[in-house]
Amino acid sequence: MILTLVLQALAAAPPAPSPPVEQALGVELTRAMEGLRLPDAAPPYLIQYDLLDGDVATVFAEFGALVDEDVAPYRSLRTEVRVGSYTLDSSGFSSFGTSNGIVGRRLPVEDDLVALRREIWLATDQSYKGAVENLARKQAALRGLTDPRPPDYTTAPPAVAPFEATGTIPAPEADRLRGLVVTLSGALAGTPGVEVGQAIARDWQGRRLVLTSEGTRVWRATGYTVVRVEATTRMADGTEQRDSRSWIVRRPADLPPEAEMLEEVRAMGAWMARLPTASREGDYLGPVLFEGWAAQEVFSQLLVPELLGTPAELSDGPPRNGARARLGRRLLPEGWSVVDDATEPGPLGAYLSDHEAVAPRRVELVEDGVLQDLLMSRIPNEERTQSTGHGRSLGNDRRAAMPAVLTVTPPRVVGDARLRKKALRLAAQTGRDYVLVVRRLEPPVLTGDFDVVFTGEGPLPGLTEPYEAYRLYADGREEPVRGLQFSGVDRRALKDIALAGNGVGLVDTLDGPPGVGRYNIGPTGGVPVSWDVPAILVRELELTSQPGGEPRAVVPPVVR
Amino acid sequence: MRASLPLAALASTLLLWLPPAPSHAEGSVLDTLGQVLDDVAAQLASAADRPYHVALALTDQEELTIQGTHGAHAGTSHGRRRTGDVDLRVGDMRLDNTHKLRDGGWFDFPNRTRIEAPLGDAGPVMRALYARAVDDTYRQARQQLIKVRSNQQVKVAAEDPSDDFSPATPVQARVPVPPLQLDKVAWTELTRETSSIYLDYPAVYDSAVQISASREETSLATSDGTRLGHGRLHFRVATWASSVADDGGEIQVYDYVDVASADRLPDRAAVTAMVRGVAERVTALRAAPLVDPYAGPAILRGRAAGVFFHEIFGHRIEGHRQKDEDEGQTFTSRVGESILPAFLSVVDDPTTARLGDVDLNGAYAWDDEGVPAERVSLVERGVLRSFLMSRSPVEGFPRSNGHGRRQPGFAPVARQGNLLVLAENPVPYAELRRRLVAEIKRQGKPFGLVFDDITGGFTFTGRSEPNSFVVQPVTVWKVFPDGRPDELVRGVDLIGTPLTTFSRIVAASDEMEIFNGSCGAESGWVPVSAAAPSLLVTEVEVQRHEKGNDRPPILGAP
């Protein structure tokens, strides 16, 4: 009898109450779907709330001295109200200076139902009004256009993941990161010629809640820890050369041992110390061997735009005939394949669901060098109508397709010796007794280049600046070179890969979707993307020599 | 102003003091800056075009902000940063690289090198960062001087041939700045609690109550021997609320109290009263009618009059504008002439820290060029006497009077501090109002206006645009000649041009009101105050305020 009662009690136990912020979102969602309507305008057909709730710590040091530190809670809501229908709605249209129906708003950090509801109420109202206007603008822009167009949005089955499944979220480890940036940046002190020796770290730990009027209610733990060390060395002729090292992990405990990180930074410092005596490479036209880290950047910068199926936004201006991913296009030589698989835990880019709460699926993108499939968010295109679970973006941007965990596999991988031998043979055909090897390329997130930011489409040379490059001679001699930049590189260079070698294994990065945002993210922002690529030898690339500068009149003392 | 009682007295058991920022001006920073100056002098000793003046500054800023909204704690932020500045001159005092290029192109203005300096005592790192910045600045300065000299040759003679820089007596002083201390627990509770008051007012849609506490400490070392460390504490308790009128007009009311020490912060009752006042004003304004464009007599109450003078007078007597031929130079050639009614005098006095019971935001002891602040008599009985001067001289005013100011990261120029408008033969406000009614009747106007409170304003001083001003009022009352009660109205800005408007000031009241705020111009944002009596103006013009078009929220508030 007693046992029965206990069992009944257990069976009848109500589910754990949802957190106040979820309650507040739920109440306002219901209220808005039932009553939010302007006279003579359509009501919302879909409301999506995307909440980020957690804590963030950022620390910054230069040559071992702490420069900035910020630790604060972070609770921010992205509200997207859609008006119209899945076929034609208020999304995907931009008009300079007007709202597109997506509203970002900070929420109170305290779990007060009334206060939270008021903020959500105001955000939803603003989002709805923006959506109504944007739909009208979009309809006006489409008026008279006869080309068939895909639907604006796809349906997705409701998904549910409770708050409890996110477990305990650790507090950001500001103290540890502070010590780390001081130590790592301090390791560059005393390096001859190094004028800038900085380290920055951010630890963001929190939860994401996607709550929609379709019935989706998905809580996920989210966050990452990033540590970057950047250095600039200045030569006697006034030219500058930058370099960096990055560690991007789920949380501080996943960072390598400090000694290992220090060793990396010291290796970078040692490389930079050699640069003042290195040759300034003249203009170069010939084969280029990209070691693993640089190869990852080559694929990231040249291949990714070819894999994403999200169509460009419409706008008030004339229709743009911009580049887009094309199924059936040859992207790589025969035998190469590219797969995105975010479903396997381990890499930082893996996840259970994307920013639209859609679970990712493995996508075999490139087979035998030819593009066979696309990464998709819930925004369809002419060829693909379903999300692959890759809808992610920076901040409050529209949820477009982004890669997650990409593996690039060549038909065969040769050993380092053979790869180098082949590279030298190709170089000899151009009359050189050495081949240019690029070990590291500048990550887009660190690009401060005005041209890149101004044009917004990517670096004008096609690839970012080489951070570490050297001449490789037949006798194995490696001679650092400096002052080079690429010229006129585009995706076609990938078809010119002659051979692949051993990569460096899994590389976790922070990145953004192609476009202006990608080059303007800053050292601690971005969306996690993981890569596994081989080293590559490209038959022919062009690099030009950067102009020199002016020697220092006031020479900064070497920090020790 | 508002009553001030120390909150600490109410909540002494809850005190949690912030860890004080180390006071760096006591030696190490100034010593480091001095070492950099020595290094620079030694390294450039044989350079033909070496700098003739170098100023290195470090500003240490700490700020704590606590905000409550809708009865909840919205968030706390606490940050500290140190910004380094390098000001370097090549050439000589007569003509140097800072000389403005006439008809200069987009890229004729050098980028300013800004230093993010370490928070702790890190002399070697600081020396490296400053040396780097000095070299970058030096390179640009030399290039700029070439352009300046060429510009001088190509262009006609300048109207004002004054030098580019003036000597100043080196200052050696170190005034410690107290640590920033605030009862975080008590203020978190107070902002949370008082923010809930707005929930009683259905017309208020969005709102907040906030306290911000800041500490700023500046170290300045110059090649002419100045070694100066000083700074200030500043606290602001502020609240704002917003609504949307049925016609789409956005209504925002902001109120605040500025004080210079934590023990002068307003108490719970005062904050509550401030919040209720804002809520009631928003409610009243939401129902208030719009007023059409109008020209007629008006009273500018003290705070509005203070901003009015700051915009239309103060910016035009900043020294550097008198020799900038792109500027309108309204008063450049009027020294010794009458520019205001004879019953008005104007001074700018950064040395006055408090007026009555109100701490003045524009008070300081030394400006950002290390020159002691001076009380400057600008207008005496209506006659223009002087300008606000930095170390950039103008004809007839060869030296600084301690008004070279800047936000960290900018180059100093002449700016206002505490602008005080003083009236002789003032009358009680009731009499001023009686005269307004008489003026309305005399002009046969249907009503006059009283500008009770303002949010701010702006002015154009250049020649390429109309030399007009805009003062943005929040609370405006219609006053009727037939004795009807005054009517609250909304949706207008006060506009005009300086000389015409000055000529129409006919009387002043016997009470002073103070506007504390921040002023933005070429050298960034600087704290300022403007104090004035209420002024009767025989004719002002108002235009419609920029209006929003959004409907009020569709659904009722939760």
What are the backbone dihedrals phi and psi of residue A22, each rounded to the nearest 5 degrees, phi first? -70, -40
* Distance (Å, whole) CA A425 – CA A539: 11
A110 at interface of B, judged by CB pairs closer than 8 A: yes
Looking at residue B23, what is its pLDDT? 47
B134 at interface of A, judged by CB pairs closer than 8 A: yes
With beta carbons under 8 A apart, name residues in chain B contacting A552. 135
A106 at interface of B, judged by CB pairs closer than 8 A: yes
Q: Decide if pLDDT at B14 tops 60.
A: no
Query: What band does A549 get if pLDDT is binned at 50, 70 and 90?
Result: confident
A236 at interface of B, judged by CB pairs closer than 8 A: no
B143 at interface of A, judged by CB pairs closer than 8 A: no
**Inter-chain touch B119–A558, beta carbons under 8 Å:** no
**Inter-chain touch B554–A38, beta carbons under 8 Å:** yes
With beta carbons under 8 A apart, name residues in chain A contacting B116. 60, 62, 67-68
Specify whether B281 is located in the same domain as B306: no
* Distance (Å, whole) CA B532 – CA B520: 20
Nearest to A65 among B44, B122, B551 (CB): B122
Q: Decide if pLDDT at B193 tops 80.
A: yes
Residue B14 lies in a domain: no
How many angstroms separate the CA of residue A191 from the nearest CA in chain B?
13
CATH 3.30.160 fits A174-207+223-280, yes or no: yes
Higher pLDDT, A21 or B460: A21
Polymer length in residues for chain B: 558
Nearest to B74 among A31, A62, A109 (CB): A109
Query: What band does B117 get if pLDDT is binned at 50, 70 and 90?
Result: very high
Q: Decide if pLDDT at B86 tops 90.
A: yes
Which residues of B, range 150-209, sit inside 8 Å of A by Cβ?
A: 192, 199, 205-206
Nearest to A36 among B40, B79, B555 (CB): B555
Rounded mean pLDDT of B199-213? 97
Specify whether B167 is located in the same domain as B248: yes
Three-state SS letters, B83-132: EEEEEEECECCCCECCCCCCCCCCCCCCCCCEEECCCCCCHHHHHHHHHH
Looking at residue A322, what is its pLDDT? 58
Nearest to A121 among B39, B117, B555 (CB): B555
Amino acid at B7: L
What are the backbone dihedrals phi and psi of residue A464, each rounded to the nearest 5 degrees, phi first? -70, 175
CATH (domain of B138):
3.30.2290.10
Residue of A nearest to B551 (CA): A129
Looking at residue A320, what is its pLDDT? 62
Degrees (nearest 5) of the Cα angle B315, B411, B303? 30
Query: What band does B342 get if pLDDT is binned at 50, 70 and 90?
Result: very high
Specify whether B214 is located in the same domain as B347: no
**Coarse DSSP helix, strand, coil percentages of chain A, rounded to the nearest 5 percent:** 25, 35, 40
Specify whether B212 is located in the same domain as B348: no
Query: What band does A450 get if pLDDT is binned at 50, 70 and 90?
Result: low
Q: Provide the pairing of β-strand A160-161 with A434-441.
A: unpaired
**Inter-chain touch B118–A66, beta carbons under 8 Å:** yes
* Residue-wise pLDDT tens digits, B57-69: 999 999 999 999 9
Higher pLDDT, A512 or A339: A339
Looking at residue A10, what is its pLDDT? 43
With beta carbons under 8 A apart, name residues in chain B contacting A557. 39, 124, 127-128, 131
Rounded mean pLDDT of B327-348? 92
Specify whether B258 is located in the same domain as B337: no
Specify whether B212 is located in the same domain as B350: no
Domain around B63? 23-287
* Residue-wise pLDDT tens digits, B478-489: 999 999 999 999
Q: Decide if pLDDT at A132 tops 50.
A: yes
Rounded mean pLDDT of A244-259? 96
A36 at interface of B, judged by CB pairs closer than 8 A: yes
Domain spans, chain A: 17-166, 174-207+223-280, 284-312+323-545
* Residue-wise pLDDT tens digits, B237-248: 999 999 999 888
Q: Decide if pLDDT at B24 tops 50.
A: no
Specify whether B275 is located in the same domain as B307: no
* Residue-wise pLDDT tens digits, A72-119: 999 999 999 999 999 999 999 988 777 888 999 999 999 999 999 999
Looking at residue A455, what is its pLDDT? 54
Least confident of A278-282, A523-527, A548-552, B160-164: A278-282
Rounded mean pLDDT of A429-449? 90
B138 at interface of A, judged by CB pairs closer than 8 A: yes
Residue B97 lies in a domain: yes
Q: Decide if pLDDT at A321 tops 70.
A: no
**Inter-chain touch B120–A66, beta carbons under 8 Å:** yes
Higher pLDDT, A516 or A18: A18
Cβ-based neighbours of A51, under 8 Å, separated by 6 or more: A21, A25, A75, A76, A77, A78, A107, A207, A208, A209, A210, A211
> Among B78, B81, B114, B135, which would you mutate to test the A interface (most chain A Cβ atoms within 10 Å of its Cβ)?
B135
Higher pLDDT, A1 or A506: A506
pLDDT > 70: percent of chain B: 95
What are the backbone dihedrals phi and psi of residue A491, each rounded to the nearest 5 degrees, phi first? -60, -25
A557 at interface of B, judged by CB pairs closer than 8 A: yes
Nearest to A555 among B43, B73, B192 (CB): B43
Q: Which residues pair with B476 in a beta bridge?
A: B451, B489
Residue of B nearest to A555 (CA): B131
Specify whether B241 is located in the same domain as B303: no
* Residue-wise pLDDT tens digits, A210-221: 999 999 999 999
With beta carbons under 8 A apart, name residues in chain B contacting A116. 72
Chains A and B form CB pairs within 8 A to the count of 141
Q: Decide if pLDDT at A364 tops 50.
A: yes
pLDDT > 70: percent of chain A: 94
Residue B411 lies in a domain: yes
How many angstroms separate the CA of residue B325 from the nearest CA in chain A?
32
Of B245, B264, B287, which one is at a domain's C-terminal end? B287
Looking at residue A16, what is its pLDDT? 66
Specify whether B188 is located in the same domain as B265: yes
Looking at residue B122, what is its pLDDT? 84
Looking at residue A15, what is its pLDDT? 60
pLDDT > 90: percent of chain B: 74
With beta carbons under 8 A apart, name residues in chain B contacting A118. 69-70, 206, 557-558
Specify whether B277 is located in the same domain as B188: yes
Return the H-helix or E-strand segment holding B529: strand B524-544
Least confident of A107-116, A469-478, B460-469: B460-469
How many angstroms separate the CA of residue B244 from the nearest CA in chain A?
12
Of B234, B267, B287, which one is at a domain's C-terminal end? B287
Of B261, B287, B313, which one is at a domain's C-terminal end? B287
Specify whether B279 is located in the same domain as B299: no
**Inter-chain touch B77–A72, beta carbons under 8 Å:** yes
Rounded mean pLDDT of A534-538? 98
Looking at residue B184, what is its pLDDT? 96
Looking at residue B10, what is its pLDDT? 28
Specify whether B362 is located in the same domain as B215: no
Q: Decide if pLDDT at B134 tops 50.
A: yes
Looking at residue A452, what is its pLDDT? 58
User: What is the per-residue burial (b if ≥16 Cβ within 10 Å, else e) of A70-98?
Assistant: bbebbbbbbbbbbbbeeebbbbbbbbeee
What are the Cα distances from residue A286, in Å, to A192, A301, A423, A424, A538? 32, 20, 10, 10, 9
- Mean pLDDT over all residues of chain A? 91
* Distance (Å, whole) CA B558 – CA B206: 12
* pTM score, whole prediction: 0.90
Q: Tell me the two tokens of residue A362.
A: 């493995």
Return the H-helix or E-strand segment holding A428: helix A416-429
Looking at residue A519, what is its pLDDT? 80
- Best CA proximity match to B466, nearest among B541, B367, B388, B546: B541
Task: Look at residue B273 and give its three-state secondary structure.
Answer: helix
Looking at residue A319, what is its pLDDT? 62
Q: Tell me the two tokens of residue A17.
A: 């109450």
A114 at interface of B, judged by CB pairs closer than 8 A: yes
Least confident of A134-143, A293-302, A398-407, A443-452: A443-452
Least confident of A13-27, A243-257, B213-227, B402-416: A13-27
A63 at interface of B, judged by CB pairs closer than 8 A: yes
Residue of A nearest to B61 (CA): A68
Residue B556 lies in a domain: no
Looking at residue A456, what is its pLDDT? 53
- Best CA proximity match to B56, nearest among B229, B296, B210, B259: B229
What total of structural domains would you count in chain B? 2
Rounded mean pLDDT of A430-457? 80
